[in-house]
Amino acid sequence: MQTNRLLKGLHHVTATVNDAQEDYDFYTQLLGLRLVKKTVNFDNNFVYHFYYADQVGTPGTVFTTFPYKGHGVRQGEEGSGMIISTAFSVLGSSLDFWQRRLTDAGISVVPFKRFEQHGLWFRDPSGLQLELIADDSDPRIPFETHEIDTAVGIRGIHHVTLWVATHDWDVLRQFLTAEMNMEEVAREENRIRLNVHEGGAGSCLELLLAEPTVPRGKNGLGTVHHVAWKIENEEAQLALRHRLAEELGMQVTEVKDRKYFRSIYFRLPSGQLFEVATEGPGFDVDESVAELGTHLMLPDDKEYNRAVIEARLPEIHL
């Protein structure tokens, strides 16, 4: 199997955030994403894991958060070696709507133009850097709310940006293009855009070259924990894992069952954490599409402890 052609695009982005209710309100009420799963962190069952996405949680539309308020997690520090921003895709005609909506909510918004695309930069309540990118070629259908219709809704994740130290720049570019099904397609000053697989919205990655004075970033509240890329099935996932671990000597986790997909994790030569996740089985394995996100869903082996877990999780008003 030709493993350097296996990645198919973005699957999801996962970030560490602060307050659970504040996070839920921002991504569902203000940005208009759907909460498709309310579950818990596999590594800390007393912390929520929220999945925001389109109607059904299509891979490439999913943005997930761990709200760690009250658990002693420090505020993150931005720097090289981090996934520094997440860009969502919208129609160009909606940018005025979004600038007004975000500004009216008290959020500082910075318009920009990059790679011939207009966009808006802002931060979420935890400090995460977010962007809305105008991409009229994105065919994905947004989730619709009573305030946000399909003409202006967020269509999914467009790309993420890695902030890369100078000494990691060349080795990272070589790894991504040789092993990760990526192709460099554009460059502006100190930034490169890569297409993943066939490219387009949901299948892009940007690399931002850090100045030598930029310190190494530190994970914590308000930082992206990892970005996940989709792969067709478990057979392909195992083949890629073999290539990375056995042939390239990288440290790669065993396959982890995340209930809604299967995952492996590894760090890039530049320090960022990549996940490779299967496209299925999907978020409707334990809830109907109509009920997605309305119940607290636990990993099967944690159901016995539901009462304790629920008692220690903060109350959330959906």
3-state secondary structure of 208: strand
- pLDDT digits 0-9 by tens, 119-150: 999 999 999 999 999 999 999 999 999 999 99
pLDDT tens column, 48-90: 999 999 999 999 999 999 999 999 999 999 999 999 999 999 9
Which tokens hold the place of 1?
A: 């199997």
According to the model, what pLDDT value does residue 149 have? 97
Residue of 37, 57, 53 whose CA lies nearest to 88: 53
What per-residue confidence (pLDDT) applies to 132? 98
Count the residues in the chain. Answer: 318
User: Which domains are present in the chain?
Assistant: 3-312 (3.10.180.10)
- Reduced to 3 states (helix: H, G, I; strand: E, B; else coil), residue 305 is helix
Q: For residue range 141-188, list pLDDT tens digits in order.
A: 999 999 999 999 999 999 999 999 999 999 999 999 999 999 999 999
CB 118 within 8 A of CB 111: yes
Cβ(69)–Cβ(19) below 8 Å? yes
Per the CB < 8 A criterion, the answer to whether 160 and 86 are in contact is yes
Chain Cα centroid distance, residue 202:
10
Please tell me whether the overall predicted TM-score, pTM, comes out greater than 0.85 for this model.
yes
Neighbours of 303 (CB within 10 A): 10
Could you give the residue ranges of the DSSP H alpha helices within 207-284? Answer: 234-242
What's residue 115's pLDDT? Answer: 97
Place of tokens 């940007």: 206
